Amino acid sequence: MARIYVIDDDEQLLRMVGLMLQRGGHTTNLIGNPVDGFEQIMADKPDLLVLDVMMPNMSGHDLARKIRNTPEVENLPILILTARSQEIDRATALESGADGYLSKPVTSQELIEKVDELLSKQNGAPKMEQGIIIALYSLRGGVGQTTLAVNLASSLRRQSQQEVCLVDLSLSGGQASFHLRLQPRTSWADLLTEGLFDWAEIQKRLIIHPSGLRVLSAPALPQLPTILSAEAVTTILNTLQQNAAFVVVDLPPVMSAAFVAALQASDMAMHVITPDVIAVQTALNVNRAIAKANVTMKYKTNVVNQTTLEAPITPAAIEKALNTRIAFQIGYDANQPRALTQGVPLTLTNAQTVLPTAVNRMAEVIWQRVTKRE
Amino acid sequence: MTAKRYGHVINLDLFTDSYRVTGRALVGAGGIHATLADPNSDFLELEDAYISRIIKPGEIVASYALVAFRKDNINFIVLQDRRDGIPVGTQHGRSVFTRGRSIITFLTVPSFEIKGEIHHDGQLSPRAVLVHSMGRFQPLFAATASASLYPEISYSGDLILVHKDRIGIFCLQANS
C-alpha cells in the first residue's frame, strides 16, 4: 500500500483517479492545483505522484522539472496522466523527468499496473524467477476456505505489488468470483475444452480485478470431479507459476486426482480447519488419507478459521488432536458477511477488524520469507 | 444562473499554421464535424485550451479557459475516436461518412502532410471526393499528420478532419 498524490485541475477526473487508486489498495491525496501540490509534496514526501499536464498556472512538465531539481524530492516517482496522447507527448513527458506516461482516458487496470510497476522499481522489489504456489484445502465445506483464499491473494497482491493469480478449482460453481464481484465469461473449463495450457491461452482466461489481482475462475455450473485431470491441473499451475509471483489455489472439497496434483504442485499447502469437532475429525481423516495416498507436499501448514461467534474447541485442543502446530489463527469477523454481499474482500478495504488483520499478517510473513529467500 | 448545456465534451488537437491547440469542445450528436459545418457561426470555441508551437509541440506556451478559432483558419483537427468527429452509423447502416470503399489518401495543408483513408462511393476522382463529401472538412480515418519541415514530428488519430480550403496537394491511391 503506497501513499499516492494526484494532481489534476479537473475535479471529476481527480476523484475518478483517486477512486481507482484506492480500489488498488493505495491511500491518496487529491490536489487540484500544482502550486499547492508542490508544497504538500515537500511537506509529506509521498511514495508516488500522478500528475496531469494541462493545468493553469503551471504545467505538469514544469512541476515534474521542479521536483527533479529539488534534492529533497528528486527521486519521487512521477506518472504523467494526460489527455495529450501523441508520441511526442510521451517523449516530452519523459524528458521533463517523469518515470511513466499514460494517456487519458485510462482504465483502472492500466493505471494500477503502471503505478505498481513504478512502485516496485522504486522499492527495488525483487523480480521472482518462479512464483510460489499456495494451495488452500479442506474436505469439510463451510470452513471459510474461499474467503481466506480470496483475502490472502488480495493481501499478497497489495503487499508485494507483484503479479498474483487466484485459481478457483471449485467444482460446485465459481465461488471466488462472488467474493470479488466479478462476472466471469470464461473459466478453466474453456482451457480444458481447447486442450491448450500455454501462457498465451491461460492469459486469455484470466479475469483482472480492479485491484490488479488475476483470477482464473471456476465454471459457473457445477462439474463432475473427473473433468479436471491431474495433468491439466499440474500444467496450468506450473505455467502460472512461471508468470506470477504468487498463485493462490482454492481447492475443491473432493479428494480427486486434481486435488492431489494441486497439493503436490504447491510450495505451501494450507489445511483450513474450523474449531469444531466435525472439522477436526475430518481434518484427522484427511491427514490419514493423504498419508495413505503417498501425497508429498513441500510444506504443509494448518490454519484455524473461526467462522462462528463461539469456538467450541480451543486451538491448543486442535493442536493436540492433530498432533501438529497451528501456524495461523483467524478469529470470527462479523464484517465478513457484509464484505461478501458487497463483493469487496476485507483485505482490500482499510478495515482493521479481525480477519483482514490476521490475513494481512499471514501475507506479510509469506512475503517476508520470499524476499529473504530471494 | 448558468444556461443548461446540451451535448457532450470531447478532447481534440487542433492545428493552425503555426500552433497546436489541445482543448475540449462541446458537440452534439453530429460530432465536431457538424459543429464545424454549422453556418450560424464562423467560430469554433474550445474550453481549457493549451497552446504549443508546432516546432515544440510537447511544450505548453499558454493556456486559457476559453478560446475561439475562426473556422477558416483551422488546418486540421486530430481526434482519437472517430465517434467524436462524425456520426459513424451502426453495423447494419453506415453513415454517409463511413459508407463506400476505403481509399488511401495523401494530402498537404500548410506546414503538414497527412496520410490516411477516406470512404467514398462512386466515381474515383479527387474532384468527386472533395465536392461530394459533406461539409467544409474532409474526414481521413486512421490518419497521420507529419510536419513538412520537421518530419520527426507527427500526430496520429483515429480521425483527422482536414479543412478542404486549406488543402494544397490531394492524392488518391487508385487501386487501394
- Residue range B32-58, pLDDT digits in tens: 999 999 999 999 999 989 999 988 888
Q: Which residue has the cell 514526501?
A: A45
Residues of A in contact with B155 (CB under 8 A): 86, 88
Q: Do B11 and A87 touch (CB under 8 A)?
A: no
Work out the mean pLDDT of chain A and round it to a whole number: 88
According to the model, what pLDDT value does residue B3 have? 59
Q: What is the rounded distance in angstroms from the CA atom of residue B108 to the CA atom of residue B86? A: 22
Please state, as a whole number, how many other Cβ atoms lie within 10 Å of the Cβ of residue B141. Answer: 20
Residue A126 has pLDDT above 60, yes or no: no
Residues of A in contact with B78 (CB under 8 A): 86
Q: What is the rounded distance in angstroms from the CA atom of residue A270 to the CA atom of residue B117? A: 59
Q: Which of A326, A356, A332, A362 is nearest to A344 (CA)?
A: A356
Q: Do B59 and A89 touch (CB under 8 A)?
A: no
CB A166 within 8 A of CB A149: yes
According to the model, what pLDDT value does residue A31 have? 94
CB burial class (10 A; 0-12, 13-18, 19+) of residue A134? buried
Q: Do B57 and A93 touch (CB under 8 A)?
A: no
According to the model, what pLDDT value does residue B144 have? 94
**Structure pTM?**
0.59
Percent of chain A clearing pLDDT 90 (strictly above): 47
What is the torsional sign of CA A216, A219, A224, A226? negative
Mean pLDDT computed over A219-224: 90
- Residue range A246-258, pLDDT digits in tens: 999 999 999 999 9
Residues of B in contact with A54 (CB under 8 A): 22, 48, 50, 60, 63
According to the model, what pLDDT value does residue A23 have? 78
Cis peptide leading into A105, omega within 30 of 0? yes
- Residue range A278-298, pLDDT digits in tens: 989 999 999 999 999 888 888
Q: Do B60 and A85 touch (CB under 8 A)?
A: no
According to the model, what pLDDT value does residue A372 have? 65
Q: What is the rounded distance in angstroms from the CA atom of residue A38 to the CA atom of residue A35? A: 5
Mean pLDDT computed over A152-164: 86
SS3 A322: helix
Residue A211 has pLDDT above 90, yes or no: no
Question: Which of A51-55, B50-54, B75-79 has the highest average model confidence (pLDDT)?
Answer: B75-79
CB A249 within 8 A of CB A134: yes
Q: Which of A165, A209, A154, A213 is nearest to A188 (CA)?
A: A165
SS3 A119: helix
Residues of B in contact with A55 (CB under 8 A): 63
Tell me how far CA of residue B160 lies from CA of A83, B85, B137, in angstroms: 17, 8, 9
Cell numbers describing residue A277: 469437532
Least confident among A199-208, A249-258, A279-288, A365-374: A365-374
Q: Do B59 and A84 touch (CB under 8 A)?
A: no
Residue A200 has pLDDT above 80, yes or no: yes
According to the model, what pLDDT value does residue B6 have? 72
Q: What is the rounded distance in angstroms from the CA atom of residue A138 to the CA atom of residue A255? A: 9
- Residue range B107-153, pLDDT digits in tens: 999 999 999 999 888 888 888 888 877 789 999 999 999 999 888 88
Q: What is the rounded distance in angstroms from the CA atom of residue B54 to the CA atom of residue A134? A: 55
The C-alpha of A63 sits at a distance from chain B's nearest C-alpha, in angstroms, of: 13
SS3 A319: helix
| Option in A55, A56, A88 nearest B58 (CB) | A88
Task: Work out whether strand A78-82 and strand A246-250 pair parallel, antiparallel, or are unpaired.
Answer: unpaired
Residue B176 has pLDDT above 80, yes or no: no
Mean pLDDT computed over A298-313: 90
According to the model, what pLDDT value does residue A374 have? 55
Q: What is the rounded distance in angstroms from the CA atom of residue A298 to the CA atom of residue A241? A: 15
Work out the mean pLDDT of chain B and round it to a whole number: 88
SS3 B142: strand
Mean pLDDT computed over A119-134: 74
Least confident among A27-41, A338-352, B19-33, B140-154: A338-352
- Residue range B78-120, pLDDT digits in tens: 999 998 998 876 666 667 677 788 899 999 999 999 999 998 8
Residues of B in contact with A104 (CB under 8 A): 11
| Option in A55, A92, A104 nearest B59 (CB) | A92
In this structure, what are the phi and psi dihedrals at residue A237, rounded to the nearest 5 degrees?
Answer: -65, -40
According to the model, what pLDDT value does residue A349 have? 81
Q: Is A299 left (phi over 0), alpha (psi -120 to 50) or beta?
A: beta
CB A278 within 8 A of CB A150: no
Q: What is the rounded distance in angstroms from the CA atom of residue A172 to the CA atom of residue A225? A: 10
Residue A8 has pLDDT above 60, yes or no: yes
Tell me how far CA of residue A275 lies from CA of A268, A320, A330, B20, in angstroms: 22, 13, 10, 69
Q: Do A88 and B153 touch (CB under 8 A)?
A: yes
Mean pLDDT computed over A11-36: 88
Adjacent-strand bridge partners of B154: B146
Q: Do B11 and A104 touch (CB under 8 A)?
A: yes
Residue A237 has pLDDT above 90, yes or no: yes
Please state, as a whole number, how many other Cβ atoms lie within 10 Å of the Cβ of residue B36. Answer: 21
| Option in B22, B59, B153 nearest A83 (CB) | B22
Cell numbers describing residue A157: 497482491
Mean pLDDT computed over A217-243: 91
Q: What is the rounded distance in angstroms from the CA atom of residue A345 to the CA atom of residue A303? A: 18
Residues of A in contact with B67 (CB under 8 A): none
Cell numbers describing residue B116: 490516411
